């Protein structure tokens, strides 16, 4: 079973430098593990949590709940991600976080994290940077859903998830377990399910990727990036994967 400290330190080091002392403080974070079943919310819109969750395994998603009932998915998160870091300094959650597969999250008390910031500012800067990369991903999603063609939109999402997962070591043989359903893609990309499916067939026909039953297979990475207009700069990772 993966442990919090390894996953978290590895993730922060993808973009930030941490000294031995910093790492020691992070490793000392007390936490409890929470097991989640698919579709289980662990933070709801309006909550004011006093613990912060780091994903240990599985996938989680953030979403807005719309007045009429449906959702708008905002981002997807894998092991090492910190999907509710912004709750450290914002009182009420403006969106919800749910598991989209079976997942484990580690819950760390806010107080402990804040204390670490005051003790060792670089830890704060690293986590701040994490939230800033989050924001960059949101910006890219605005552009993706507003300015790109439907196939580019979908390809870009696949590129981003694949790239991030590869950086986190979750990709084997160009395959990535991605438990997202077509209706969920629809509520992510702002497209009707029928269009999602037709666009997906189109992408399959381009022989750049395949996606079936929660498994993403990338067959021609450079070409897929071209279709999706994907440039990973906005992810601000120090060392690109591979």
Partner DNA sequence: CGAGTGATTGACTGGTGTCAAACCCTGTGG
Partner DNA sequence: CCACAGGGTTTGACACCAGTCAATCACTCG
Three-class SS of residue 180?
coil
Measured CA to CA in angstroms, residue 148 lies from 22, 45, 169, 171, 206 at distances of 41, 29, 29, 26, 18
d(CA 129, CA 16): 8
Q: Rounded to the nearest whole angstrom, what is the least distance from the CB of residue 65 to DNA in the complex?
A: 16
Judged by beta carbon, residue 16 or residue 188, the one nearer DNA is: 188
- Out of 28, 38, 121, 169, the only residue in the binding site for a copy of itself (CB under 8 A) is 121
Residue 240 sits in the site that holds a copy of itself (CB under 8 A): no
Structure tokens at 212: 């079936």
Number of residues lying near DNA (CB under 7 A): 17
Residues from 53 through 92 that contact a copy of itself (CB under 8 A): 62, 64, 66-67, 70, 72, 74, 86, 89-92
What are the structure tokens assigned to 12, written together? 């922060």
Binding status of residue 213 toward DNA by CB under 7 A? yes
| Span of 53-61, 89-97, 195-203, 223-231 interacting with DNA by CB under 7 A | 195-203
Q: 91: exposed, middle or buried (C-beta count within 10 Å: 0-12, 13-18, 19+)?
A: exposed
Which of 195, 206, 217, 229 contacts DNA by CB under 7 A? 195
Task: Pick the stretch among 51-59, 71-79, 123-131, 188-196 that binds DNA (CB under 7 A).
Answer: 188-196
In the complex, minimum distance from the CB of residue 154 to DNA, in angstroms, rounded to a whole number: 11
Residue tagged 């690293």 (tokens): 126
Which CB atom, from 143 or from 181, has the smaller least distance to DNA? 181
- Pick the stretch among 54-62, 104-112, 116-124, 187-195 that binds DNA (CB under 7 A): 187-195
Asked if residue 168 lies in contact with residue 80, where contact means CB atoms within 8 angstroms, the answer is: yes
Q: Which is nearer to a copy of itself, 137 or 171 (CB)?
A: 137
Q: Which is nearer to a copy of itself, 204 or 236 (CB)?
A: 236
Long-range contact set of residues 148-153: C-beta below 8 Å, sequence gap at least 24: 148/228, 148/229, 150/189, 150/191, 150/195, 150/199, 151/199, 151/202, 151/203, 151/227, 152/227, 152/228, 152/229, 153/189, 153/191, 153/199, 153/228
Indicate the residue among 19 and 149 with the shorter CB distance to DNA. 149
């Amino acid at each position: 079973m993966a442990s919090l400290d390894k996953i978290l330190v590895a993730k922060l080091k993808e973009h930030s430098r941490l000294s031995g002392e910093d790492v020691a403080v992070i490793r000392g974070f007390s936490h409890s593990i929470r097991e989640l079943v698919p579709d289980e919310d662990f933070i709801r819109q309006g909550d004011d949590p006093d613990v912060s969750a780091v994903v240990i395994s599985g996938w989680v998603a953030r979403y807005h709940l719309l007045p009429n009932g449906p959702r708008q998915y905002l981002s997807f998160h894998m092991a090492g991600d910190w999907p509710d870091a912004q709750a450290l300094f914002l009182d009420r959650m403006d969106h919800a976080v749910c598991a989209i597969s079976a997942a484990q999250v580690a819950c760390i008390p806010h107080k402990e994290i804040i204390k670490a910031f005051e003790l060792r500012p670089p830890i704060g800067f690293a986590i701040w940077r994490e939230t800033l990369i989050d924001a960059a991903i949101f910006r890219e999603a605005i552009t993706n859903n507003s300015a790109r063609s439907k196939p580019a939109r979908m390809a870009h999402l696949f590129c981003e998830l694949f790239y991030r997962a590869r950086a986190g070591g979750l990709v084997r043989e160009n395959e990535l377990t991605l438990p997202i359903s077509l209706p969920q893609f629809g509520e992510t990309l702002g497209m009707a399910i029928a269009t999602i499916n037709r666009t997906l067939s189109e992408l399959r026909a381009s022989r750049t990727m395949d996606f079936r039953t929660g498994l993403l297979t990338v067959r021609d990475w450079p070409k897929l990036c071209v279709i999706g207009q994907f440039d990973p700069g906005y992810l601000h990772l120090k060392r690109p994967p591979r």
